[in-house]
Homo-oligomer: A and B are copies of this chain.
Amino acid sequence: MTTLFAPPVAAPSLPASAEIDAIIRLALAEDVGRGDITTAATVPPGAVARAEILQKAPGVVCGLPVVEAVFAALDRRVRFTPVVPEGSFDADAGRRVVARIEGSAAAILTGERTALNFLQRLSGVATASRRAAQLVAGTPATVIDTRKTTPGLRVLEKYAVRVGGASNHRAGLDDGFLIKDNHIRAAGGITPAVHAAQRRAAPGQVVEVEVTTLRELDEALAAGATLILLDNFSTEQMRAAVAQARGRARLEASGGIGLDNLADVARTGVDYVSLGALTHSAGVLDFSLEVIA
């Protein structure tokens, strides 16, 4: 592999994953249904076209590989050329060309809306993540996402979070232990719950546990938890928790945090701040596709 070697990758790459294939197929199926009747009626068979995708609002472009996959699923011969790098930020509200597409006119028109629906949402998530990451810059805290993602888009939205410069919490229920209040009740307390999970853990797999008071924090630390979620703590309580933990565990602040108080939270000394809004309330970034020939 030596000839092409650059220093370790900076920009996140979109992972190959059966789930991404599945949501692209599903999205196309739900839009195309039994076939695009308008295009079938109006576009001559064999017609080819060239088109551009334009960014129409300031923000981070994210989802170009998904756009490419959407058109490829309709017609393998469509040529897709990114014009700007995935993850690049545009501050203008102008009409930046982010990609060019060339090939079957029918495929381009049929795939347009599905491609843009992915692009506008993922770019929205990346843009919100960028904003959040900037707000905590200079603090020891890292902004992370949650599992409050759009059904079917988990892998893509978590990718968009990374593209925007924030980080990912666990990807799903199989990817790390997070013991919440209901698990604690079921297990009979924080200590037995943590110990049960530790017994089940793979090498190096950390067990996270949620606490709602400083007293519970003590119990979690005593049980050997090395990652602890502070559920709906005030910033004052967070500072107390940081003092109490004395580095024995990393702390995640969660609940009731938005862009307005994010910087305050980050300055309390917690290691992670998790924001459901990165994915569930990011909004969309406007893009359009224009046929130019």
Contacts and interface: CB of A to CB of B under 8 A. Distances in A.
A186 interface: yes
A79 to B, nearest CB: 15
Nearest to A74: B16
Interface in A77-124: 105-107, 109-110, 113-114, 116-118, 120-121
Given A26-B152, A44-B5, A150-B150, A174 B120 contact: no
Interface in A14-53: 15-19, 22-49
Contacts of A185: 1-2, 291
Contacts of A197: 37-38, 41-42
Given A1-B293, A8-B192, A169-B203, 9 more contacts: A4-B44, A8-B44, A15-B40, A17-B174, A19-B26, A35-B174, A41-B200, A185-B291, A204-B227
A194 to B, nearest CB: 9
A18 B49 CA distance: 23
Interface of A: 1-9, 11-13, 15-19, 22-49, 74-75, 105-107, 109-110, 113-114, 116-118, 120-121, 142, 144, 147-155, 158, 162, 167-188, 192-193, 195-197, 199-200, 202-208, 226-227, 250, 252, 271-272, 280-281, 283-284, 291, 293
Contacts of A118: 151
Contact of A109 (B19, B142, B183): B183
A133 to B, nearest CB: 13
B34 A16 contact: no
Contact of A172 (B31, B116, B121): B31
Contacts of A177: 37-38, 41
A178 to B, nearest CB: 6
Q: Which 3 A-B pairs have the closest CB atoms?
A: A15-B35, A204-B206, A33-B174
A172 B33 contact: yes
Contacts of A1: 43, 47-49, 105, 182, 185-186, 291, 293
For A15, A25, A154, A158, the residue with the greatest tally of chain B CB atoms inside 10 Å of its CB is A15
